[in-house]
Amino acid sequence: MAYSTIQIGILGCAEIARKVSRAILLSQTATLCAVGSRSIEKAQKFAADNGFPATAKVYGSYEEVLDDPNVDAVYVPLPTSLHIKWAVLAAQKKKHLLLEKPVGLNVEEVDVILAACEANGVQFMDGTMWMHHPRTAKMREFLSDAKQFGELKSVNTCFTFTADQNFLENDIRVKPDLDGLGALGDVGWYCVRGILWAADYELPKSVIALRNPVFNKAGVIISCGASLLWEDGKVGTFHCSFLTNMTMDLTAVGTKGTLHIHDFIIPFEEKKASFISAVECGFKELALGWVPKPSEHTVTTDIPQEALMVREFCKLVGSIKNEGAKPEKKWPTLSRKTTLVLDAVKASIEKGFEAVEIVS
């Protein structure tokens, strides 16, 4: 039995919405059915520039998208401080929700959003695209392989990029009233998600911020880092920044294996991506070299990770809409865990780099 594609509306015309509009088209499981902006002209231009079909509705407000009975789901790339209002309203209007990260300014906001989604039976998913790349699944296989990787003991992640002067002065991610989490919520979100992913989403016991956060004049974090510690002695460290060259490293070290990746968030190329694995490495006689050497694995994908994200979201929405399934709890759970760790990093910075316990 064939169902119609999922009808997705977009709230706002953020830069990232262009990439996601393209992903919706590429996913072949969804239709760009509406876009709303506070400026209808902006919405019209956005629809025209981004491949919206002639049937798509263009609105001069976000409310109208939520009130459109044809809209199954909304993608919300608004500034973080607006998430709680519009995400909750979307859920109340029974719209499934693909929400950009960071999901909220703190876990209390995230809980309000997730509770609204649960109460209204709508699917929630955040916009962490790399979770959906087939490479991520391949790397997970490696990390889960007791014979190849063994037990995770240490993981380090780094996501930085050099923001230009315009970004540092004007981007919403450096404005306390728009994205108060700054670099921690933007690039740090991925670092923390990467560490949690490597730890199979087990929450750390405590978090200690590194003692070199950088703030802008408005007090927003533009560079920081932390160490995360688990009960069993596992440790994670990360560094995130708007002030250094684009770097996206993840290194996970297990008792038997090691995983290296240099582009874990956005692959160097769209259709193929690689990672390096090393298993039970030792030295040649006299330690003159390694046996075996690490090996590179390439994973190809017909459509990019963001289109696979849309496809996964639409699969879940379709199951609810057409088959009466319940929303998948995995995605809201991951968003909440990521936020709990970000909150602890922020709290540790505020408390003078004390250890902050994670209470879930």
- Is residue 255 within 8 A of residue 151, CB to CB? The reply is yes
Nearer to a second copy, 23 or 116 (CB): 23
Nearer to a second copy, 285 or 323 (CB): 285
Helix (H) or strand (E) holding 59: strand 57-59
- Smallest gap from residue 265 Cβ to a second copy (A): 10
Which residues pair with residue 7 across a beta bridge? 31
Q: Are strands 57-59 and 73-76 parallel, antiparallel or unpaired?
A: unpaired
Alpha-carbon gap, residue 234 to 154, rounded angstroms? 6
| Nearest in space to 6 (alpha carbons), one of 23, 25, 30 | 30
Contact residues toward a second copy (CB under 8 A) are: 18-19, 22, 150, 153-154, 156, 158, 160-162, 206, 208, 210-212, 214, 223, 225, 227, 229, 233-235, 237, 239, 241, 243-247, 249, 251, 253-258, 260, 262-263, 266-270, 276, 278-283, 286-290, 293-294, 304, 355
| Concatenated DSSP letters of 203-270 | PPSEEEE-S--EE-TTS-EEEEEEEEE-TTS-EEEEEEESEEEEEEEEEEEESSEEEEESBSSS-SSS
Nearer to a second copy, 31 or 258 (CB): 258
- Smallest gap from residue 172 Cβ to a second copy (A): 16
Alpha-carbon gap, residue 181 to 167, rounded angstroms? 15
- Smallest gap from residue 169 Cβ to a second copy (A): 17
Nearer to a second copy, 49 or 108 (CB): 49
- Smallest gap from residue 227 Cβ to a second copy (A): 5
Nearer to a second copy, 166 or 324 (CB): 166
Whole-angstrom distance between the N-terminal and C-terminal Cα of the chain? 42
| Nearest in space to 227 (alpha carbons), one of 219, 235, 215, 218 | 235
- Smallest gap from residue 51 Cβ to a second copy (A): 12
Nearer to a second copy, 121 or 150 (CB): 150
- Smallest gap from residue 108 Cβ to a second copy (A): 27
- Angle 186-191-196 from CA coordinates, rounded to 5°: 125
Question: DSSP letter at 296?
Answer: E
